[in-house]
Amino acid sequence: MLTQTSIFMITDPHIGHLYTAFLADAAHRWQKLTMGTSTDKAILSTGTDEHGLKVQRAATESGMPTQSLCDLVSQRFRALFDAGNIDYTHFIRTTDETHERLVQSIWLQLHDKGYLCKSTYEGWYSVPDETFLLDSQLTDGDEPGSKVSKETGHKCEWSLEENYMFKLSLFRERLLKWITKKPYPIIPDYARHFVIGYLTEEGGLNDLSVSRPLSRLQWGIRVPNDEEHTVYVWLDALVNYLTVSGYPNPGHLWPATDHVIGKDIMKFHCIYWPSFLMALDVELPSRIVVHSHWTMDKSKMSKSKGNVVDPFDRLETHGADKLRYFLLKEGSLHHDGDYHDSRLAQLANADLADTFGNLLSRATATKLHPPEIKLCIDPNHLMKDGKELLESLQRLSTTVNNCYSSYEFGRGISSIMECLHMANRFFGRHKPWTLVPNPDSHAHLGTVLAVSMETLRLCSILLSPIIPDSSSKILQRLGMSSESIGPEDLKFCMDRDFTGAPIVVGGSPMFSKKVYDK
């Protein structure tokens, strides 16, 4: 299982970058949990995409040596992922030597197979997006004769140069066949339709310029056997997925299970990348997962507007688990999400503190745990609501698996919250505090506590891909370890006996509550 995030441009990290990583991380953690295998079978790779004109110019403007700038920014992304508790197994930098060698070897293979040829190419180029654009993708800029990208608003430059061209147009039919075959390799549906539209648009599949003259671009991988050219940054960057897999060495892990990307880079991943792989006769990734964007006050985040949400700052304010919870519950593959601290706090208060944390505090309250109590479920004391709760819990893992496996984390989390609400209602109705004084009611009391604790155990495990730190702390409070959890732990267990487990009774609230009025 090889899950890969898109790798990150050398730029200031923002909340959208962290979101890509959270999605891939949650999927990877879920794979590990359901596969029950050691980490060498489940890999999560991320990293930094360090070449290209954009980086070269940024270094010139900053007055820093380009390598130093890349080292600094790459380090910042690593620090971000560490702070966000991303369980990556591989962090690639496209300036790594093994990667550079693989890109050059792939170049030679494409060349030898006849897919590359030199020709003069002219068109509008967007440096921030590192791409040529079609006329239909451009609009007039403010200055006379200037052009900007319709999608990103970035200013374009006219470029007329001799380049190597990749024969992209040869791949239309094969791409269409791949994209439309079930199980669909591109999710969600709108992303697949976008790609089909692009493939059938006039000019959408023109041959692709895959080199830049060395005179313009020095910060990149050199074209083998031609001192005048540098490899186009997207061809270089996309190959990172193969590099990470260990390709072409024996035992490599290619093909990848999932590539997780944002919607702005679909063209590169769903058209260019599969075409390169087809040209190389290499298998395609099983699935490309396209997510939507995060906006601020419904508008695109941009430095010039000053509305960029700083992920370091947000992690510091809310902690990793609450930020992960909010982005994964509210974010969706299908539509953009709007970032609000107040919404985050509201959700964390309602779901984590008042529902999950509340059940934990109630079930582990000191006064409900007299020493002689047996903590196991006696079906005679369940009553109708207890039985209904148990039925829901027995179905829960399957529902969550269906949601998480298709990156519908929000729906998965909601189904867990629904069970936690039911469990809180069950607890309230059975009034366990009234059962403490009477020893004849202790089997009933033990049942209420055991049902609640088994609910907490199962929900903690199911939420562990989303809020890993809190989940393991809750399991500890229940007297369990979060270490060797496997697929067998995903079942609701009627017969579990918590008696004698090192349960932490009377602990402080697991989730603090914050008020945000903004």
Residue nearest to ligand MSP (CB): 262
Shorter beta-carbon distance to ligand MSP: residue 230 or 355: 230
Q: Which is nearer to ligand MSP, 7 or 116 (CB)?
A: 7
Which 281-310 residues touch ligand MSP, going by CB under 6 A? Answer: 293-294, 301
Given the structure tokens 């147009």, which residue do they identify? 169
Q: Which stretch binds ligand MSP (CB under 6 A): 3-11, 357-365, 394-402, 474-482?
A: 3-11
Q: Which residue has the tokens 């094969």?
A: 174
Contact 260, 6 (CB under 8 A): yes
186 and 270 Cβ atoms separated by less than 8 Å: yes
Minimum CB separation of residue 155 from ligand MSP in Å reads: 17
Hey, which residues between 417 and 436 contact ligand MSP (CB under 6 A)? Answer: none
User: Minimum CB separation from ligand MSP for residue 514, in Å?
Assistant: 24
**Which is it for the CA torsion 234, 236, 240, 246, positive or negative?**
positive
Site string for ligand MSP, 237-266 (x = CB under 6 A): xx-x--------------------xx-xx-
Pick the closer one to ligand MSP by CB: 8 or 166: 8
Residue linked to tokens 């967007």: 126
β-sheet bridge partners, residue 90: 45
Between 465 and 504, how does the x/- string for binding to ligand MSP read (CB under 6 A)? ----------------------------------------
Q: Are strands 294-296 and 299-300 parallel, antiparallel or unpaired?
A: antiparallel
For residues 260 and 413, which CB has a smaller minimum distance to ligand MSP in the complex?
260
Say how far apart CA 394 and CA 415 lie, in whole Å: 12
By CB under 6 A, the count of residues binding ligand MSP is 20
Pick 19 or 427: Cβ nearer ligand MSP: 19
Instruction: Name the β-bridge partners of 296.
Output: 299
Nearer to ligand MSP, 6 or 74 (CB): 6
> Which is nearer to ligand MSP, 265 or 510 (by Cβ)?
265
Residue 262 or 285: the one with the smaller Cβ distance to ligand MSP is 262
> Residues 170-209 vs ligand MSP: string with x where CB under 6 A?
----------------------------------------
- Residue span 37-56 as binding mask against ligand MSP, x where in contact by CB under 6 A, dash where not: ------------x-------
Helices (H), 296-408: 311-318, 320-330, 341-347, 358-363, 383-405
Residues numbered 212-241 forming contacts with ligand MSP, rule: CB under 6 A: 237-238, 240
Distance CA 224, CA 238 (A): 18
Do residues 406 and 187 lie in contact, with contact meaning Cβ atoms separated by under 8 Å?
yes
| DSSP 8-state symbol, 508 | P
- Name which of 6 and 364 has its Cβ closer to ligand MSP: 6
**Is residue 19 within the footprint of ligand MSP (CB under 6 A)?**
yes
The Cα angle at residue 205 between residues 334 and 146, in degrees rounded to 5 = 85
Nearest to 49 by CA among 277, 211, 244, 238: 238
Say if residues 221 and 51 touch (Cβ distance below 8 Å).
yes
Q: Does 9 bind ligand MSP (CB under 6 A)?
A: yes
Determine if 8 is a binding residue for ligand MSP (CB under 6 A): yes
Residue 386 touching ligand MSP (CB under 6 A): no
Cα–Cα dist 340/346, whole Å? 10
Choose which of 17, 192, 212, 329 interacts with ligand MSP (CB under 6 A): 17
Q: Choose the binding region for ligand MSP from 12-20, 142-150, 277-285, 445-453 (rule: CB under 6 A).
A: 12-20
By CB under 6 A, residue 26 contacts ligand MSP = no
Integer Cα distance of 230 and 114 in angstroms: 19
Nearer to ligand MSP, 53 or 238 (CB): 238
The correct pick among 1, 3, 16, 498 for binding ligand MSP (CB under 6 A) is 16
**Could you give the CA distance from residue 15 to residue 295 in angstroms, rounded to a whole number?**
9
Question: How far is Cα 87 from Cα 433, in angstroms, rounded to an integer?
Answer: 41
3-state SS string for 270-291: HHHHHHHHHHHCCCCCCEEEEE
Least spacing, CB of residue 462 vs ligand MSP, in Å: 25
Among 1, 2, 20, 110, binds ligand MSP (CB under 6 A): 20
Instruction: Annotate 449-487 with DSSP letters as a single string.
Output: HHHHHHHHHHHHHHHTTTSHHHHHHHHHHTT--STT--G
Measured from the CB of residue 17, what is the shortest distance to ligand MSP in angstroms? 5
Q: Pull the structure tokens for residue 134.
A: 């079609």
Residue 208 half-sphere exposure toward CB, CA atoms < 13 A:
24
CB of 264 to ligand MSP, least distance (A): 5
Of the candidate residues 1, 2, 3, 7, the single one contacting ligand MSP (CB under 6 A): 7
CA–CA gap between residue 92 and residue 48 (Å, rounded): 6
* Cα 87 from Cα 445, distance rounded (Å): 40
Question: For binding to ligand MSP (CB under 6 A), which residues are involved?
Answer: 6-9, 11, 16-17, 19-20, 49, 237-238, 240, 261-262, 264-265, 293-294, 301
